[in-house]
Structure 1
Amino acid sequence: MKKTRLYAILAVVLTLTLILSACGGAATPAPAPTEAPAAAEPTAAEAPTATPAPAPTDTPAEEAMAEPTEAPTEAPVAEEPVATLKIWADDTRTPILLGLADDFLAEYGVKLEVEDLGVVQDIRSQAIIAIPAGEGPDIFVGVHDWLGALIESGLVAPIDLGDKNDEFVQSALDAFTYTDGQLYGLPYATENLGFFYNTDLVPEPPTTWDEVLEIGRQLQDEGKVQYALAVSTGPLYNALPIQTAFGGYIFGVDDNGAWNPNDVGLDSEGEVSAVAWMTNA
């Protein structure tokens, strides 16, 4: 799981490692050890004259039994990181990335410098200012619908997943693919929409939107519900399942499989039918 979330980081890490390896000079050979000087031969000395032995004194047991102290050992010197990756994240992802930092440093020799920018939407506004000034991050957390403005402003670069491409859901990769067919972000999560129903009122789930509306209207007539159908407010994609069920769409796709801004489907027959159905519901 950890590797999947950090493939984008790994790609940069590998590049940095190769660059540093290429720039580093050959290792300097260690000097050959020198031989220790030979011990000097003892010289003859005159025999000492006998002297009276001093009277014995009492020696404390602690002194007599004292154990020799071990020679102090030097602490190992930690290796310096070969590179640093500066990452901007929100308050949700920052603790996760910080939790990976030690393992990442130990395995790749790269230090993760993670900065918590709070709300994810604040990252984009700060990136637009900082990146052109050369003060932005190497990697930042963001939403796929930021890509258009960021790419056109030259603030992000494409990435190549290589043989890791098949490890990701294709729809998630498509969301980060621009009109030039290149991938500009590494998806780590997708948001899914769900359909909820009250089993006390609807024992068996409907299988078509027409059934949904029929059951909803019946419950509404019986005074058991206020609305026959309720759709979450907010972004338009909350109603996307209904739109696509009628053949509607927002943008078409080009030959590269990327969204085509020249093919807007808001006035398509399917989209009109979907909006009419929701209006009448």
Structure 2
Amino acid sequence: MTVNTGRFTTMTALLGLGALALTSCGSGDDSADAGSAESADTASTDAESTDTESTDAAEGEAGESGEAASGSLTIWADANRAEVLNEVAEDFETDTGIAVEIVQQDFEEIRDQFVSQVPTGEGPDIAVGAHDWLGVLVNNGVVAPVELGDTAEDFEQIAVDAWTYEGQTYGLPYSIENIALLRNTELAPEAPADFDEMIQMGEEAGTEYPFLVGLDPNESDPYHLYPFQTSFGAPVFGTAEDGSYDSSQLAMADAGGEEFASWLAEQGEAGVLNLNIDGDLAQESFNDGNSPFFLTGPWNVDGAQEAGIDVAVDPIPAAGDQDAQPFAGVQGFFLSAQSENVVAASNFLINYVGTAEVQTALYETGGRAPALTESFEQALREDEIVAGFGEVGTEAVPMPAIPEMGAVWDDWGSSQAAIIKGDGDPVDLWQTMSEDIASAID
């Protein structure tokens, strides 16, 4: 795999000027964080003046720089990403002389291992992860900002927004993931216009279930039901002026949330939402042709196609009078606050992982829409399944990465389950949930 380093000119100046600011992050000192932001702003301004320099000159400077051409990098990645990164690492070492070690890790364990090992100096320079880890990572002082500079414009906006926390971008995104509506085209030739029409079409199909979504008898599944909740104008949190989530505004506690709660109770009573059908059973039932519709993510498409289902990916039908907006999860690579080779690590991320060749390779391995716009648009042209999820993703909102989100899930899920089961007045149960969540956040 040959990687295009044509963007190196501007970023070499940016990274060199910003290196001191980056390495100061994670100290836990507010003044140091402020200094980092100021230094990064200065670096970005100064870097703009280098746009007219030749790429050859920049590469020559990189070759002469002892800091940029020495040392090594360690990267934590799961098995799927490691396969692609091994090829990229070979190109990087050939170009820079800097060795890169790819260490395979269980994706589910990376965040906690990173938090525990980075402060001891044992962690990697770079790790793969999900954007909603940011609240934990930033608050523990273990990640440093990644200065994307002008290259931020090359990525889908939602991808950059997701990796931005308190005004700083902390990762190089590579994929975007969200749920959508899978449709068995033999049972339902056309996409439904709204939720009620979907249920009507499902009933007319004569299958066992008009619609499927995997739930849990005790915890429901707020993630999968969130698009219906947002269609009632009930996002989990409000937003500040800069568009970031504001945990002081528990927006789902408002009237829209109460309307959604009443709707949940109605669907539970009608049997449309069934807490006894978990994700595995929902997948099996859809693959067996027992429903025309299945609310899920790209991870269940292959199984349906292997079962002989002609699958279409449709927008999620709104239950309320607003658009149904699912959560978007954006995966990427973040930088250790304790890295001893920040310039090289940033170079690897921006000028190698951030190229169309690598972003497309990561997409082909993982089956998730690329974060880089060039690769994203190519994937949409070539794959109608990716195009379907990508279309739904334009209405998606980033999963909240703020730490307060950790105080939401348990009460949110258990209250949804109680409402669907009919264990009390839905509005009263929702109000109690909202009060409990607000108290937990406080």
Verify: 1:228 aligned to 2:228, yes or no.
no
**Corresponding residue pairs, total:** 217
CA contact (8 A) 2:12 2:62 kept: no
Is 2:245 aligned against 1:263?
Answer: no
| Residues in 1 aligned to 2:110 and 2:82: alpha-carbon distance in whole angstroms | 13
1:159-189 deviation per Cα after TM superposition (whole angstroms, max 9, x unaligned): 22111011111111111111x2211112100
CA deviations 1:40-80 (Å, max 9, x no partner) are: xxxxxxxxxxxxxxxxxxxxxxxxxxxxxxxxxxxxxxxxx
Cα gap change, 1:12/1:135 in structure 2, threshold over 3 Å: closer, same or farther? farther
Equivalent-residue separation in structure 2 for 1:145 and 1:111 (angstroms): 30
Map of 1:136 onto structure 2: 123
Taking the TM superposition and a 5 Å limit, the aligned residue runs for 1:87-98 are: 87-98=75-86
- Give per-residue Cα distances to partners, 1:102-131, cap 9 Å, x unaligned: 1111223322111111x2011112111110
Distance 1:12 1:85 in 2: 20
Q: TM-score, normalised by structure 2?
A: 0.44
Q: Distance in 2 between matches of 1:188 and 1:276?
A: 39
* 1:3/1:225 CA distance change after superposition, 3 Å: farther
The partner residue of 2:152 within 151, 159, 165 is: 165
Q: 1:226 Cα shift? A: 2.9
Taking the TM superposition and a 5 Å limit, the aligned residue runs for 1:59-208 are 82-117=70-105, 119-178=106-165, 180-208=166-194
In structure 2, relative to structure 1, the CA distance for the partners of 1:100 and 1:269 (3 Å cut) is same
Larger relative contact order (CA 8 Å, sep ≥ 6) = 2
CA distance in 2, matches of 1:260, 1:19: 42
- Deviation (angstroms), 1:263: 1.9
Higher relative helix content: 2
Return closer, same or farther for 1:244/1:12 CA change in 2, 3 Å cut-off: farther
The answer to which structure has the higher strand fraction is 2
Per-residue CA distance 1:230-251 (angstroms, 9 max, x = gap): 2234763322322222222122
Task: Supply the distance in 2 between the matched residues of 1:191 and 1:11 (Cα, whole angstroms).
Answer: 31
Q: What percentage of residue pairs aligned between the two structures are identical?
A: 36
Change (3 A) 1:275 1:176: farther
Distance in 1 between residues matched to 2:137 and 2:264, nearest whole Å: 34
Q: Tell which structure's C-alpha radius of gyration is larger.
A: 1
- Change in CA separation of 1:241 and 1:215 when aligned onto 2, cut-off 3 Å: same
Indicate conservation of the 8 Å contact 1:177/1:184, yes or no: yes
- Unaligned regions of 5+ residues in structure 1, if any? 25-80
Per-residue deviation, residues 199-258 of structure 1 (Å, max 9, x unmatched): 333232211122113333455xxxx23333222347633223222222221222212222
State the TM-score, normalizing by the size of structure 1: 0.66
Code of the residue aligned with 1:155 in structure 2: it is V
Contact 2:70 2:97 in 1 (8 A): yes
Amino acid paired to 1:163: D
Deviation at 1:261, TM superposition (A): 1.9
RMSD over aligned Cα, in angstroms? 3.3
